Chain A
């Protein structure tokens, strides 16, 4: 059986969350490169998952579904998009069997044969009775994902649930652990396993869906969608394997191409087939986006993870020495990247003006907090100079511009001119409203 891919669901949810229901069904489907029928089917499936996980049935339309997923800061502590990771399909009989096995092992350790008895007794009559082979393969799976472990001792092996992490903690320790997991899942990357653990602990500690006292302001909650690819990419990097994928540049209107099995119906997609040796995954805190950097066509190549679909790992491994060489090249080329720019290094000098009459110099605080490896070289009563060597000016520019009139670009001259031109253009946007103000 082909490996189940969640590309469509990831792209679907990302578009839904980012555009917050701006599109009609037709527009939405068109931009995803799927049919309206597939749109409806996907939405139905996602709703079913959300309905099961959160016990609240969403309404019928896409817009309302988007509203439900909408960022509601003070009211929801649960990361809504996490349900994506609950989408792996499992046959009903299998999910029933696994739940019976786990519930039995929660009580005490058992052998495969004992579990077979439990299972045969616990399954509704309309499910097929499992045989020993099925139970053994279930146990193998549960062992593989670390849910159960085989106890020491000879045959017949006894299996036990692997929950020692929580069983050995006192009440207060459990509270501290839950709080720690919540904080780290929200403030660090990656988060998905942390959110899953948060869910598990909630069940283990029988916590109500009560108010969670922590809030995270300016949190890019949709970033967890891109983590869907993270471990596939890391796996390829660790194994030094090249990958191929179908890439949809976020600048294109279409962000997914349905993979039709019948070539007669194959549509033209806007995606481009890409191949590379992956080297690094970069998380950009400015936008909450992920990038993949690698080596292809004699150079460093860069892709946004949100545009990557249908990843396939290649058979051959890169030679260790060759891989190290590529990695070294990447380190060298990205040494001065504000984000991922590998262009020519340039020295930027900017004057920042201290806020007038403010009790706290929040401008300086922000430059020190966000200015990466840049340095403050001169300080006077009214201002200070900040210097940084970066690859190209494109990536740092938005940050400098965000300071508005508190930042004056001194060097390079070209950047200074660009700032003047841009401020003029932006000012022109507001000229018509000047009279009304």
Chain B
């Protein structure tokens, strides 16, 4: 199987688009068949649809990866699909509001809160789905694990509100963005590739100063992500240091001091 096929060529694709036609290759069907074997498929489709899809793909081969591809250091895959994903996706696509009952971290329950659903977000680290939504009364941005939703149903919302909210939410998120500059400690420039890979899941810009042979990575992230950013910085250890960003610097200093305190007997 070669991924660079003539059939995927960009000019061909754009010509097909002009004529309103499309193609499905055996590559794509083999991939789909492989994915339909994943337990998530049972949650993603009505049983009848799943039967139909599997029947159509019956004579196709699978990608046959299982014997030759191994995945390492993966978070346990608790959840790929969640039963609420389908109904919530539909509500979002309809541009409707929601009436939500959900559990809080401390065990309490919030009942019947009116909101506007924005996106469904999957964390690749926690391997779990979240609903990002706007709380109408509190005018606040919320992120709720689907696993903590007790009940949700669609609720009408004024069309002008529904049209205006996404822009309002993204402006709100934009306002919560923070930046920090991470410098690659020059001694470890050789490991640049590894370091950049580690930060490749963030919005970033890299600057290179040829005179001092120094790389600086400007990270942009939401305020509530700073703990995850910190864990990445600690993950990389001596290779990087926070060059700008007082909060992260303070937390790194605190983190190292506390860590050393764990080994107090030997560090005295």
Contact = CB atoms under 8 A, between A and B. Distances in A.
A283 B197 CA distance: 13
Interface in A147-164: 147, 161-164
Given A190-B65, A437-B250, A180 B10 contact: no
Contacts of A92: 11
A189 interface: yes
Nearest to A197: B28
Interface residues of B, number: 126
B198 A287 contact: yes
Interface string A398-437: 1101111100100000001101101111110111011011
Nearest to B122: A216
A180 B57 CA distance: 16
B258 A95 contact: no
Interface string B223-254: 00000101110111110011000100110110
Contacts of A120: none
B256 A403 contact: no
A168 B51 CA distance: 12
Contacts of A169: 49, 52
A177 B89 CA distance: 13
A359 B69 contact: no
Given A183-B44, A405-B259, A430-B256, A71 B8 contact: no
Nearest to A55: B14
A427 B65 contact: no
Contact of B69 (A17, A189, A285): A189
A164 B58 CA distance: 12
Interface string B170-209: 1001000000000001000011011011101111111110
B124 interface: yes
A190 B63 contact: yes
Contacts of A71: 200-204
A127 interface: no
A285 B25 contact: no
Given A98-B6, A99-B19, A166-B24, A18 B263 contact: no
Contacts of B15: 95-96, 99
Given A17-B200, A18-B193, A176-B46, A405 B235 contact: no
B137 to A, nearest CB: 23
B8 A53 contact: no
A213 interface: yes
Nearest to A251: B190
B204 A20 contact: yes
A315 interface: no
B30 A220 contact: no
B13 interface: yes
A200 interface: yes
Interface string B20-35: 1111111111111001
Contacts of B80: 183-184, 187-188
A274 interface: no
A165 B230 contact: no
Contact of B252 (A147, A193, A399, A430): A430
A36 interface: no
A243 interface: no
Interface in B76-127: 76, 78, 80-81, 85-86, 88-90, 92-93, 105-106, 119-127
A1 interface: no
Interface of A: 4, 6, 17-23, 27, 49, 52-53, 70-74, 83, 85-90, 92, 94-96, 98-99, 102-103, 106, 141-142, 145-147, 161-166, 168-169, 173, 175-177, 179-181, 183-184, 186-190, 192-194, 196-197, 199-200, 203-204, 211, 213-222, 227-228, 230-232, 234-235, 237-238, 250-251, 280-289, 306, 337-340, 353, 359-360, 368-370, 372, 397-399, 401-405, 408, 416-417, 419-420, 422-427, 429-431, 433-434, 436-437
Given A94-B6, A217-B201, 17 more contacts: A18-B196, A52-B11, A71-B203, A73-B203, A87-B4, A95-B9, A179-B89, A190-B63, A197-B24, A215-B119, A218-B124, A251-B193, A283-B71, A288-B200, A399-B235, A404-B231, A404-B258
30 contacts: A4-B4, A53-B10, A74-B170, A87-B9, A96-B15, A103-B19, A103-B21, A145-B25, A165-B24, A180-B45, A187-B122, A188-B80, A194-B28, A196-B28, A213-B88, A214-B89, A215-B120, A218-B124, A220-B201, A228-B4, A282-B69, A337-B72, A372-B73, A404-B234, A405-B258, A408-B263, A422-B238, A423-B259, A424-B256, A427-B253
